[in-house]
Chains A and B, each alone.
Chain A
Amino acid sequence: MTWTLILPELVLSLAGLGLLVAGVVPKREMHFPVAMGALAAIMVAAALTIAQGDGAIFGGLYVADAFSRFGKLLVLAGAAVGIILSIDFNERSGLARFEFPLLLLFSTVGMMIMVSANDLMTLYMGLELTSLALYVVAAFDRDNERSAEAGLKYFVLGALASGLLLYGSSLVYGFAGSTNFDQIARALGAPDTGSTGLVVGVVFVVAGLCFKISAVPFHMWTPDVYEGAPTPVTAFFAGAPKIAAVVLLTRMLAGPFGELAAQWQQVIILVSALSMILGAFAAIGQNNIKRLMAYSSIANIGYALMGLAVATDAGLRGLLIYMAIYLAMTLGSFAVLISMRRDGRAVERIDDLAGLGRTDPMMALWMAIFMFSMAGVPPMAGFFSKLYVFLPAVEAGFWALAIIGVLTSVVGAYYYLRIVKVMYFDASLGAFDARPMGLSLVLNVTGLFTLLFILFPAPLIAAAQGAIASLIE
């Protein structure tokens, strides 16, 4: 019974369809019940993912292994937190429509397909399912010009990226003779196949995926979309889809295109270095905290890609650990951003955080921990995530990348510290509205993870190690 391997995706899809009916039929607004239903479906899917076995199905279109399970659990965690963060915000902002959690649910299904994709076709399907749902939620606050702009911008540029990806896929298909990852690998393994056309195809595919993870120079959409979209949508964008795209990129480059490592490494090194540099310097001048988080996420992707650029087992392991810790820090920070609401209106300037250390010491403490963690200051988790990508870079002799990495992390520390400064050193502008329990829960869980990772690092490292082992074999 091989179909059990897609059981988590099946559960999510069927739950999505059932909830769609449940949302339409009753006369009253079903936002909250549907959101709870979506959360329950994600929990079930997570449990099924953990219990899943290994294997490939549908003629090798789809694989399940430790690597996909690691990626899926991160994606599901990101999606679940994304939904939790959105419930209260949507109700207070007049966005409480049942379609919202459903769209997030369907995009989650798409991400899980991306993570398990073992064929260029599956990859494209998963990616499009994810993106279509995300285009809509970006513009979900449809009466707001900036939100509509974000949705449109994301759609136009996303379509361009999909086009690049498709074009690259067709080139790969043409020169390798198959869309299946295993067969591409076999074709590349044979002598005299490293043709230029294939390399061009790979570069196009990588470019399309770099758009999804907002790596420089494909990052242009990120600050605008992050700023314009409703904050919970931004939180969702910064979490799960990035994980899925990074995992997919890793599977593809380390798997079928592993033979071409020398070629794609150059691209990834460049992208990684540029992302770190731009993310660090462009964030300095920002006043809107969502834009700042956009540049911060660009920089973080740069660090994560350093692990991929190195292309060793240790590097890939570092990449996975980096993404896991990045997810926790980012979602935690966004829980704070979503709590920024004064007199019923959402505020998003950095200065609005002023005096948080007095008005809400607990939240300020967590935010400070996230910021120090992102700056890479020990003993927070963010330090270790950087450690695990810098170590392989040094081992493999990528000195330029490692030095750019540490220096930009100091530049980055400046703007993270600025947030701490605003919270603790500046006079208060008045307290924020009381935050709902869901946000406190997210804050506490992600905050404790960030703070206490130093005590219990072994399980995450072991999980990442296992995932990479299943990928490389």
Chain B
Amino acid sequence: MNAAGFPLLSLLTFLPLVGALIILTVRGDEKIVASNARWTALWTSVITFALSLILWVQFDKSTADFQFVERLSWMPNLGLNYVMGVDGISVLFVLLATFLTPLCILASWEAITTRVREYMIAFLVLETMMVGMFCALDFVLFYVFFEAVLIPMFLIIGVWGGARRVYAAFKFFLYTLLGSVLMLLAILLLWYRAGTTDIVQLMSTPMPAEMQTWVFLAFFASFAVKVPMWPVHTWLPDAHVEAPTAGSVILAGVLLKMGAYGFLRFSLPLLPEASAMFAPFMFTLSVVAVIYTSFVALAQEDMKKLIAYSSVAHMGIVTLGIFTFNAQGLSGALYTMLSHGIVSGALFLCVGVLYDRVHSREIARYGGIAKVMPAYALVFMLFTMGSVALPGLAGFPGELLVIVGAWRVNPWVALGAATGMVLGAAYMLYLYRRVAFGRIQRDELRALFDMSPREHAIFAPLVIMTLWMGIYPQSFLDFFAASVAQLVSRHEAALGAARLAGM
């Protein structure tokens, strides 16, 4: 089963933790510690990324089964096991997490000057939890990683964040914790009913329809907050605005995907009837999210807040795609998650570049940046267009597929999603015009330097990915085609069986 012949997923998960332990042991005066911490963190995350490329190469795209599976006995008295594995749905998210982490560490190179050691430790621990969460094949293990993510993120926002960091950190933590604990009860119920928390076995255990409803609602409480769906999205703008740049990147790039991943991994396969029953409800919330938050984004004065609201809108497209239950919608949702991970992460990095120089995120303070920072303006434009879903860039294939998938279910829903795309173009272009074009009003802007070599190094891989995902989407779609097909067929089979039983 294990194609690599060694526990690759565990290695990917826990290697960053080893790096964190190494940083913890560094002694000396502050400067040396900071420099060592930066380099250790960078090397650890780069090696982790390099190892994760084995997944890219060796992953067998023709099957929907879990691959690279590892299994260890964990709590035998309770029937809990340590099970890791990836399938087409999760494998690319592992890569996304390992891909973004080194970039985040590079982006924090000069921006973070206080308590560098603790910062790098927090980031590496965060990487461990993210990768572990996407690999976990035991529900309790998943929950452990899912919640443990909160700890480093809480510290990153609270220690290195902006003026209202304490409020934002608490809101982030308590909001998500409240959702998660209800899911925990649902997990316990499943555990008790099925006698196992192994995800593969749970998938083959049908559940009575009434129970599905309750479990779905409990899952919804957790995942909807994490996604975040309207109306429980209010923690996100606060967290994004106050978090340091790299924190925002990880938050938008990976953490938001955890909720949608949860819907895909658990709600859909485990609760087919309840999912079908709640689909209109999910569509409504998603369409409201897409349209409402787009308008809200249009009115923002703060760049980070604007991009945060655009994230809510994009995640609305994702949840919409998930609940179409057809191959186009699901593939589109997965693709949008990936492209949003890259593009919105890159956009936050773009804001970070300006923030490092001017120390303001207020849109009104900028204007005419294109004249003094031409290279930066080009990069920023590329990602703006990527976010708008211009054909040929990363955002397009996913959103197109979601709209196609939604059209098959309900044209009105598709219309809602399409409206979101139009509005998305409006607020992103409006942002770009105000920042990059126009006359330079302030003297301080005239003296800005264009991107440094370090910043070029950060943006180069993101630019390549954005173009690649836009021009040749098949190389990514191939990964999850088999898994999505299986998900759809199982869902239809389960619904068919339920319909038969009901007759």
Contacts and interface: CB of A to CB of B under 8 A. Distances in A.
Nearest to B150: A377
Interface stretch (B100-108, B184-192, B403-411, B489-497): B184-192
Contacts of B185: 390, 394, 402-403, 406
B419 to A, nearest CB: 36
A395 B118 CA distance: 41
Contact of B75 (A372, A410, A458): A458
B contact patch SS = helix
Contacts of A378: 143-145, 147-148
Nearest to B158: A425
Interface in A407-435: 407, 409-410, 413-414, 417, 420-421, 424-425
A406 B181 contact: yes
Given A377-B148, A425-B158, A461-B75, A394 B173 contact: no
B160 to A, nearest CB: 10
Contacts of A387: 140, 184, 188
B216 interface: no
A210 to B, nearest CB: 26
Given A394-B188, A410-B178, A417 B154 contact: yes
Contacts of A409: 181
A37 interface: no
A149 B188 CA distance: 45
Interface string B124-161: 00000000000000001001110110110011001100
Contacts of A390: 184-185, 188
B314 interface: no
Contacts of B78: 391, 461
A324 to B, nearest CB: 15
A394 B189 contact: yes
B437 interface: no
Nearest to A358: B115
Nearest to A390: B188
Contact of A457 (B74, B158, B191): B74
A204 interface: no
How big is the A interface, by class? 20 to 34
A394 B192 contact: yes
B114 to A, nearest CB: 9
Contacts of A394: 185, 188-189, 192
A383 B144 contact: yes
B306 interface: no
Interface in B63-106: 74-78
A219 B151 CA distance: 32
Given A391-B192, A462-B77, A465-B77, A417 B148 contact: no
Contacts of A417: 154, 170, 173-174
Contact of B166 (A395, A402, A421, A458): A421
A394 to B, nearest CB: 4
A413 B159 contact: no
Contacts of A457: 74-75
Nearest to A454: B144
Contact of A421 (B140, B170, B192): B170
A302 interface: no
Contact of A406 (B143, B184, B191): B184
A381 B353 CA distance: 41
B169 interface: yes
Interface centre among B144, B166, B184, B189 (most CB of A within 10 A): B184
A361 interface: yes
B305 interface: no
A357 B153 CA distance: 16
A391 B148 CA distance: 20
Contacts of B159: 357, 424-425
A407 B181 contact: yes
Contacts of B144: 378-379, 383, 454
A377 B147 contact: yes
B76 A410 contact: no
B165 interface: yes
B425 interface: no
B182 interface: yes
Nearest to B183: A406
A379 B140 contact: no
B97 to A, nearest CB: 18
B298 interface: no
B400 to A, nearest CB: 39
B121 to A, nearest CB: 10
Contact of B151 (A357, A377, A461): A377
B363 interface: no
A391 B191 contact: yes
B177 interface: yes
Nearest to A391: B188
Nearest to B214: A399
Given A394-B185, A421-B170, A413 B77 contact: no
Given A357-B118, A417-B170, A425-B165, A379 B189 contact: no
Contacts of B174: 410, 413-414, 417
Nearest to A393: B188
B151 A458 contact: no
Contacts of B188: 387, 390-391, 394-395, 402
Interface string A329-365: 0000000000000000000000000000110010000
Interface string A440-472: 000000000000001001100110010000000
Contacts of A465: 77
A394 B74 CA distance: 22
Interface in A371-387: 372, 376-379, 383, 387
Given A377-B148, A424-B158, A458 B177 contact: no
Contact of B182 (A383, A406, A414, A420): A406
A372 B77 contact: no
A459 to B, nearest CB: 11
Contacts of A361: 118
B176 to A, nearest CB: 10
A359 B145 CA distance: 30
Given A391-B192, A425-B165, A458 B77 contact: yes
A403 B178 CA distance: 11
B169 A410 contact: no
Nearest to B186: A394
Nearest to A457: B75
Closest 5 CB pairs of A and B: A406-B181, A378-B144, A394-B188, A395-B192, A410-B178
5 contacts: A357-B115, A403-B182, A417-B170, A421-B169, A461-B77
Given A391-B188, A394-B188, A414-B170, 14 more contacts: A357-B118, A376-B181, A377-B150, A378-B143, A378-B145, A379-B148, A383-B147, A390-B188, A391-B191, A391-B192, A417-B174, A420-B155, A461-B75, A461-B78
